[in-house]
Amino acid sequence: MAYADIAIFHKKYGGKFQTWEVPTLGTSFILFNLDRGPFTDKRLRLAAAYAIDRETIRQAVFCGRGASATGFYAPASPWYMEGVTPGPAYDPEHARFLLWQARAVGTAVGLLALTSFPYLQHTAEVVQAMWSEVGLKVILDLCDERLLNSKRRARDFHADSTSSSYRSDPDGWFSRMILSSAPSTRTTSGLQHAYADTLVATARRTADRQQRLTLYTTQARA
């Protein structure tokens, strides 16, 4: 059900249905196209990150549920990675400065969102407003799954409001979304990072859980 309907459901039907709180299902995030378009410039990626108020998104889109992510796994997960520094704190003035510094004020940005899950569309709409506020010209493209996958394969986007459900083992996510050689990485972010590849490959070969957590927590700087 929609996040906004949860409180109403409990009030109306709490005596008729049993409900369970599931503490962790997945993570929603904005993915950049790193091999084509304005976000190949790190300054623009940083500006976009500084422009996003994650708490506002949590309240407006998720009705105050969940938590702002610091890594892929939430604190309720056994694979939660302590010590990961979250993304840049909300600072729209610094975002404006970075765009000015990069001579990128007014840059057109194509933002994709899948229509099948309303929270992805709503997140994209809030991000569109935040990015527009600091000086980007954001074109929101709402797509069904067929069109979205086609645009990804054609690299015809700059950013994507997306999400991923949790895997029982972190390799199921890191090897699909971070590893440079993964087909899904090539059609989403296009990330190419040799050190990150080494970390993912080493963690895959490591049996000790704590060592794997340490490897996944290590931050490979762009």
Q: Do residues 111 and 123 both lie within one domain?
A: yes
My answer on whether 172 and 86 are in the same domain is no
Strand duo 26-32 + 108-114: pairing: unpaired
Q: Is residue 6 assigned to a domain?
A: no
pLDDT of residue 24: 78
Higher pLDDT, 74 or 109: 109
Q: Indicate whether 221 pLDDT > 60.
A: no
Dump pLDDT digits (tens) for 14-37. 889 988 888 778 899 999 999 999
3-state secondary structure string, 170-197? CHHHHHHHCCCCCHHHHHCCCCCCHHHH
| Per-residue tokens: 79 | 């694979």
- How much is the pLDDT for 220? 61
142 and 186 part of one domain: no
| Cα distance between residue 206 and residue 33, in whole Å | 30
Q: Which amino acid is at 158?
A: H
Give CA–CA dist 198/186, Å, rounded.
17
* Overall average pLDDT of the 178-190 stretch: 94
Cα gap 82→94, rounded to integer Å: 27
Residue 134 and residue 182 in contact, taking contact as beta carbons nearer than 8 Å = no
Domain count for the chain = 2
- Whether 212 and 183 have beta carbons less than 8 Å apart is answered as no
Average pLDDT over the chain, rounded to an integer:
92
Boundaries of domain holding 103: 25-166
pTM here is 0.90
Distance of CA 215 to the CA centre of its chain: 20
pLDDT tens profile 38-54: 999 999 999 999 999 99
Residues 122 and 175 in one domain: no
